[in-house]
Chain A
Amino acid sequence: MSFTIDVNGIPRSVDVDGDTPLLWVLRDVLGMTGTKFGCGMALCGACTVHLDGAAVRSCITTVDSIGEGKVTTIEAIGGTPAGAKIQRAWLEHEVPQCGYCQSGQIMSASALLADKPHPTDADIDDAMSGNICRCGTYVRIREAIKLAAGSQVKER
């Protein structure tokens, strides 16, 4: 069956079963490999994207559930004010190690910052505890979110 979904502001048509997770539509059908596969069960957060600005796990979000919703991925998150701040803070603190989980971390952090411009430690725990980092970059993730919350980034 054919679906047309809005990915990063561009309508994309894909011919897959309706129960196909968005993750595989992005990675394998559209060739957008920035969004990562980690667990397939919404346990690790590596596949996090935004659906209408909210962080969702694309590995359990079926393509037929998206409808008119707007999907934003790591490839375009730098175009949002919160995303740009988070990416800059990630670079400043050199958060990534292997880097594989970081697309998902950045998507979760960007959604947090867009929702709560000055998150507390508890807010950070709530928003980020669904994202596993096997390299254990948590100390720097927390520092970077706080840096982003305090930093000024020019609006584009």
Chain B
Amino acid sequence: MTSDRTASHASATLSRRSFLVKTSLAGGGLVLSLSLPLGQSRSSSTGKFEPNAFIRIGHDGEVVLTMPYVEMGQGTYTSIPMLIAEELEVGLGQVRLEHAPPNEKLYANPLLGVQATGNSNAIRGAWKPLREAGATARIMLIEAAARRWGVDAKHCRAEAGEVIHTPSGRRLKYGELAAKAAMIPPPASVVLKNADEFKLIGTPVRRLDVSGKVNGSALYGIDARPPGLKIATLAQSPVFGGRLKKVDDSAAMAIKGVRQIVRLDDAVAVVADHMGAAKKGLAALKIEWEDGRHAGLSTQDIARELEDATLKAGPVAQDIGDAAKALAGAATRVQASYHLPFLAHATMEPMNCTVHFRGDECEIWVGTQAIARVQAMAAKAAGLPPDKVTVHNHLIGGGFGRRLEADGAVRAVEIAKQVDGPVKVVWTREEDIQHDMYRPYWVDRIEAGLDERGRPVAWTNRFAGSSVIARWLPPAFRNGLDPDTTEGAIDLVYSLPNVHVEYVRVEPPGIPTAFWRSVGPSHNVFVTESFIDELAAAAKQDAVAYRRALLDHNPRAKAVLELAAEKAGWGTPLPQGRGRGVALQNVFGSYLAQVAEVEVAKDGSVRVHRVVCAMDCGIVVNPDTVQAQIQSGVMFGVTAALYGEITLKSGRVEQANFDTYQMLRIDQAPAIEVYLVKSAEPPGGMGEAGTSGIVPAVANAVFAATGRRLRKMPIDPDALKT
């Protein structure tokens, strides 16, 4: 580690400390900036300078940045400030961060159109507007200084939170200029720095959120403790759509610390002084459920329905050339069908939400990826207008898409409406897994035609499953298609002359679906990268060479593939039982090639030893965060490949805790190497790319090691026994 890093770390720690001191004063978790930032500059009696919704500079010189995206481990609370600070000309040690309040107008992600953090698009959405926000403020501060000095602004520059008059060397701090800058009209347009002028962007910057995460002081939603708090835990109908029939609470109410039993249509909650009493009370309830119409449902029923759906035509997601004709004339045809399971998110912080319902208003403490959605849906559940619902956002103990949903907040409001005073509703791990909203089950039917040399001349793919977008962001679901569900299935990196892709939307009965880390590509990249591997095998060609031959028109994809292969030692001998597999993708605006090296034991168990990743994610904002996110995405994907499966039996989720829904642990974790390709392209998404690619890379490596093709996840060791 260099001394530079140590120095920046010291300042980051300081600013983080002030962040925590400031926010812990209120006693109830992180406190938001409730004075709504304005869309345009305003002069205030306190002398604050607020050129836009993201920046506030006080007369004391404090620079407060309001974060439109939430920190859930992906480093956004460092990379987003870097974008602003680069143009504002302040050091990261000089800024304090606040969570944005719910306000779709001010804080919507331009790529999503809503205020949410997901789909790896924070940096992509923020890249231009937040640098512009910083530049606008800088120009106004410089103008304020120039007027103060009676000089021409073009002889002034900004540096480290000060404006300097270059000829005379005079300086004024931003705080001293705040009141005057607030009177300056904002510039009509700004010129952003070129990449070669960056001082911060591209340098390894210490994460601003880390220090509180090593000493227990970081506050997550589950740590909220407003005065007078009660703790509740709950049981929801074990069959989705079932109802609560009867509860005998006599034993539960006799337990020390249990205060109240709350009955809802489809759930029951025990309110207590602490979670220990609440859990004990819940266990003591005698509950009868009316299971409803999904009582007999099994995963097999859903899989069969999806298989059938792939036999019928669906909306066309992509059509290039004439795939049917090319298929009919192909020398060889290869067909396959793939299945991907339902998956739970299993964030380490179980679902929770704290609500104080006061009749005419409602206050909520939660960690959410979509604060405006929480406000809107909680307001509906509370029977209040949204402006009567205050939401305090917190750090997130794992999002992965789970906290893009507001179901937890809605449930907590339903309970809180029956409780006098604030109540924190905490899901047990079992409730968290059995009442998640799941990554959809997918079935793909795919076929390709090869010419005499083995090159693909036709590619057809029809897949069936749930569209999360259709529920979550209805305007984005058009003509039976949406951009998430098809990402990774269309616009493949390879040059294919004839392509036909259809998507058939089927919403599974009796199980809710939601976004899951790497979203659409978590499904599509597995299928396309497994299938291209099958084509290479059918053509009796090397898996890397086969792909590379299809990349003449895609230099960025070719470069990462070649780099990953070289670093992995592709083609060098491996011991018996080991194999290497490759996967290549261009999703979330980034190019990634991954080579997995696996070992398959005699009992069929698979161990992933090493993963080599080569990434071109455009301009790198914070290189260490890129490394960390790829490492993280790989572990997440390996977990899914080895263990991830949610199944239904008699309408009930069969998995319940980490014994039946297993996670990768440190003793099974692969070594991971990440290589970055230098690029001048705009930044791509980082948080999810590692997950979608590693699953097919592992499956392809198992094929290389055993000759057995895996068309269904997770890996079944019984099928690999020798």
- Contact residue among B212, B225, B632 (Cβ-Cβ distance under 8 Å from A136): B632
Q: Are the CB atoms of B214 and A96 closer together than 8 Å? A: yes
Name which of B72, B216, B274, B347 has the most chain A CB atoms within 10 A of its CB.
B216
Contact check, B223 vs A98: say whether CB atoms are below 8 A apart.
no
Q: Which of B634-684 contact A (CB under 8 A)?
A: 634-636, 639, 657-659, 663-667, 669, 671-672
A-B contact pairs, 23 of them (CB 8 A): A21-B276, A28-B231, A28-B276, A33-B216, A37-B275, A38-B350, A41-B429, A44-B348, A90-B214, A96-B213, A98-B396, A99-B73, A99-B213, A99-B397, A100-B348, A100-B398, A131-B665, A132-B348, A133-B348, A134-B400, A135-B348, A138-B664, A142-B669
Residue of B nearest to A32 (CB): B216
CB of B658 within 8 A of CB of A132, answer yes
B363: CB under 8 A from chain A? no
Contacts of B225 in A (CB 8 A): 31, 33
Contacts of A96 in B (CB 8 A): 73, 209-210, 213-214
Chain A residue with minimal CB distance to B212? Answer: A99
Contacts of B350 in A (CB 8 A): 37-38
The listed residue (A17, A28, A140) touching B631 by CB distance below 8 A is A140
Judge whether A4 is part of the interface by a CB distance below 8 angstroms. no
Q: Main SS of the interface on chain A?
A: loop
A136:B664 contact, CB within 8 angstroms: yes
- Cross-chain contact B222 with A37 (CB below 8 angstroms): yes
**B454, CB-defined interface residue at 8 Å:** no
Q: How many A-B residue pairs lie within 8 Å, measured between CB atoms?
A: 198
Docked pose: A39 CA to B214 CA in angstroms: 20
- Is B255 interfacial (CB 8 A cutoff)? yes
| Chief secondary structure at chain B's binding surface | loop
Q: For residue B220, which residue of chain A has the nearest CB?
A: A100
How many whole Å from B352's CB to the nearest CB in chain A?
A: 9
Asked whether B32 is an interface residue with its Cβ less than 8 Å from the other chain, the reply is no
Contact residues in A for B210 (Cβ distance below 8 Å)? 90-91, 94-96, 99
Known: A34-B217, A44-B348, A99-B397. A17 touches B428 (CB 8 A): no
- Interface set of A (CB-CB < 8 Å, partner B): 16-17, 19-21, 23-25, 27-29, 31-41, 43-44, 46, 73-75, 78, 87, 90-92, 94-103, 106, 124-126, 128-142
Q: Are B215 and A129 in contact (CB under 8 A)?
A: no
Nearest chain-A residue to B256 (Cβ)?
A17
A100:B349 contact, CB within 8 angstroms: yes
Which residue from B215, B279, B396 sits with its C-beta under 8 Å from A87?
B215
Q: How far is the CA of A29 from the CA of B229 in the complex (A)?
A: 11
Measured CB to CB, the nearest residue on chain A to B397 is A100
**Interface contact B666-A98, CB-CB below 8 Å:** no
The interface residues of chain B lying within 8 Å CB-to-CB of A33 are 216, 219, 222-223, 225
- Expressed in whole angstroms, the Cα–Cα distance for A44 and B659 within the complex equals 9
> Would you call B280 an interface residue if the criterion is a C-beta within 8 Å of the partner chain's C-beta atoms?
yes
A25–B211 alpha-carbon span in the complex (Å): 25
Partner of A99, one of B218, B628, B636: B218
A77 to B216, CA, bound (A): 10
Taking a contact as CB atoms under 8 Å apart, the answer to whether A17 and B257 are in contact is: yes
A33 to B, closest residue via Cβ = B223
- The smallest C-beta distance from B161 to any residue of chain A, in angstroms, reads 25
* Alpha-carbon distance between A24 and B218 when the two chains are bound, in angstroms: 18
Given A38-B348, A138-B669, also A98-B631 (CB < 8 A): no
Given A16-B276, A20-B277, the answer on whether A73 and B216 have CB atoms closer than 8 Å is yes
Which single residue of chain B is at the shortest CB-CB distance from A20? B276
Using A96-B210, A102-B214, A134-B398 as known contacts, say yes or no to A41 and B659 having CB atoms under 8 A apart. yes
Complex interface: chain A residues within 8 A of B275 (CB): 23-24, 27-28, 37
Contact of B274 among A28, A125, A131, A133 (CB under 8 A): A28
A76 CB to closest chain B CB, in angstroms? 9
- Using A17-B280, A91-B214 as known contacts, say yes or no to A129 and B667 having CB atoms under 8 A apart: yes
Closest to A122 in B: B667
What distance in Å separates the Cβ of A81 from its nearest Cβ neighbour in chain B?
16
Measured between beta carbons, the chain B residues less than 8 angstroms from A24 are: 274-277
What is the minimal beta-carbon distance from B216 to any residue of chain A, in angstroms?
2
In whole angstroms, what is the CA distance A31 to B227 when docked? 11
B628 touches A140 (CB 8 A): yes
| Bound CA span A25–B275, Å | 9
